[in-house]
Amino acid sequence: MQSYSRLLIIALLSILSGWFLFHHTQEASKQEKPAIANSVITNPLFNASFPDITGKQQALKQWQGKVIVLNFWATWCPPCREEMPELSALQQKHKDIVIIGLSTDDLDKTKEFIHSAPVSYPILAGDMDAMTLAETLGDNQSILPYTVIIDSKGAIVKTFFGRINQQILEETLTPLLGVLPTK
């Protein structure tokens, strides 16, 4: 009887110890992940370069230190095309941010589309390399459009799957810019 009691006490202590360790490691991992993820995730971004619609390679590093709205899109994607005028309006309204459109089509298709529907922000053509970068930056579902908001320190602040609009972007960007949106 006494050995049964000892066995029960040892089992309970083991369960409590295991629960405490599990709970403690879960809390620690929740606190550490954002800092690690942000520094690791944006490294591929600032090491990448893609051709603009003239064919000239543009290093994304040139925009490091700025608030960036990186929008992955495709010429065949209706929601992507629908949000482009709003992205243009946002770029014209807020010169202190950089909006970059990264097409998942090849350069010829991207150039042809942009000539018929110009925008006020840089357009780059990435083809499959753009999709690889999108996946690295959190698009694990291969959804287009996919938008990544990056602060001036290079940290990913927010990502959006699917179509976005100017109001949603301004609500996200306002704290990063330290200004109230103009109406």
Residue 3 — pLDDT band, cuts 50, 70, 90?
A: low
Give the Cβ contact number of residue 81 at 10 Å: 16
Predicted confidence at residue 31, as pLDDT, reads 37
Distance separating alpha carbons of residues 29 and 154, to the nearest angstrom: 21
Predicted confidence at residue 34, as pLDDT, reads 39
Q: Which of 16-20, 70-74, 133-137 has the lowest mean pLDDT?
A: 16-20
Question: Are the C-beta atoms of residues 68 and 97 closer than 8 Å to each other?
Answer: yes
Please indicate, yes or no, if residue 169 is contained in any of the structural domains.
Answer: yes
Report pTM: 0.75
User: Domain with 170 in it: what CATH number?
Assistant: 3.40.30.10
Predicted confidence at residue 43, as pLDDT, reads 73
The conformation of residue 180, written as its DSSP 8-state character, comes to: P
Half-sphere exposure of 96 (CA within 13 A, CB side): 11
For the segment 89-109, what is each residue's pLDDT rounded down to a tens digit?
A: 999 998 899 999 999 999 999
| Torsion angle of the four alpha carbons 30, 46, 99, 96, in this order, in degrees rounded to the nearest 10 | 90
Please indicate, yes or no, if residue 38 is contained in any of the structural domains.
Answer: no
Please indicate, yes or no, if residue 140 is contained in any of the structural domains.
Answer: yes
Domain range holding 97? 46-177
For the segment 4-58, what is each residue's pLDDT rounded down to a tens digit?
A: 666 556 655 455 455 444 554 444 333 333 333 444 455 788 999 999 999 999 9
How many domains are contained in the chain? 1
Q: What are phi and psi of 165, to 5 degrees?
A: -135, 170
Question: Are the C-beta atoms of residues 183 and 170 closer than 8 Å to each other?
Answer: no
